[in-house]
Homo-oligomer: A and B are copies of this chain.
Amino acid sequence: MNVFNVAFLGAGRMGLTHLRNLAGVPGVHVRVVADTGLAKAENGAALVRAERATDDIGAAIGASDVDAVLIATPTGTHAELIEQCVRAGKPVWCEKPVGLTLADTQRVLRTVERSNIPVMIGFMRRFDPGYAAAKRAIDAGDVGRVERFRAISCDFTPPALAFIKTSGGIFVDMSVHDFDLARFLVGDVAEVSAWGGALIDPGYAEVGDVDTAVAMLRFANGALGVLEASRRTTWGYDIRTEVAGSRAKLVVEAPQKTPLLTSRDLGYAGTHYESFPDRFEAAYRAELAYFFACLRAGELPEPGVRDALESLRVALAATRSLKEGRPVKVEEI
């Protein structure tokens, strides 16, 4: 088995998770960990026994002993770093999103499509065993014609308001994962209508965002959908996705985090997942394994920048609907 030597960019919390997962992927060796904070880079490098750590990200990308680049840096840097990698001829796996604006994402898409360099964007949910099995069932015709879609994604712990200001809003920051699933499982979204409110914290309204939102989706193939999003629950990471068709209905939901039920006081209790890292632990491992399997097989990994662009477009349509109080066609965006 030929070994891929990689540069890993961004050794923050999720970066370390990816590094640990990478260590379990056979045939991959991390040559260099780069982070603008050198201590973080060194910490990441030690974790996987990488040859070197650096705060010179450009040098890491360009290094002659690096075959591929993995990007887990802050969102604002993704577009520029992907382009840099592509120019250097290095295949890329990058955390979602490519960018928060359509213009940025379109520019990256053009660069990538001209190059034919493999670029995969980390919509990890597609690699969860539940979503992957749902996709296979739909493609196999087991669900028949899809008629309805339902997505709910609510976080347990709200982010700091400082982050909200630059997040792109609840649909671009959170629901984009659901829009990606909608496209993955059902197909193109034609129209969105959204409502929202600052029900949890009035601070969201002050920064022009909402903390609670609902939306309707109209798919190009006629299917209809609903979506819910919330920045905070008291019961854990609340994520459930349903696809109903003429033959069957699929529900993707992990019913309990720990395989333990406790009974007492005339009832029983189980545990919910806390957030995306624990709910999607297996998915994060699977997507990296898939990325390198594609490189090895000479295939273009998916989802790529075009998927990121199309999901962003839906998120922006929802955002505009929310602001303008009217249904918005995705083609307007």
Contacts and interface: CB of A to CB of B under 8 A. Distances in A.
Interface of A: 1, 3, 20-21, 23-27, 29, 46-49, 128-130, 133-134, 137, 142, 144-145, 147-148, 150, 152, 154, 156, 193, 195-197, 199-200, 212-216, 218, 222-228, 230, 233-236, 238, 244, 246-272, 274, 325-327
Contacts of A152: 150
A300 to B, nearest CB: 26
Q: Among A21, A24, A49, A214, find the residue whose CB has the most chain B CB atoms closer than 10 A.
A: A214
B199 A222 contact: yes
Copies in the complex: 4
Contact of A46 (B1, B46, B48): B1
Given A196-B224, A199-B145, A227-B226, A262 B250 contact: yes
Given A20-B24, A235-B264, A235-B268, 7 more contacts: A23-B23, A26-B46, A129-B259, A130-B259, A142-B262, A253-B259, A326-B326
B197 A224 contact: yes
Nearest to A156: B266
B268 A261 contact: no
A246 B212 CA distance: 11
A268 B270 contact: yes
Question: Which 10 residue pairs are nearest across A and B when measured between Cβ atoms?
Answer: A24-B24, A130-B259, A235-B263, A226-B226, A248-B264, A254-B259, A269-B269, A130-B260, A249-B263, A251-B261
A235 B248 CA distance: 7
B214 A195 contact: no
Q: Among A46, A154, A262, find the residue whose CB has the most chain B CB atoms closer than 10 A.
A: A262
A44 to B, nearest CB: 10
B214 A216 contact: yes
A49 B3 contact: yes
Contacts of A199: 145, 147, 222-224
A27 B20 CA distance: 11
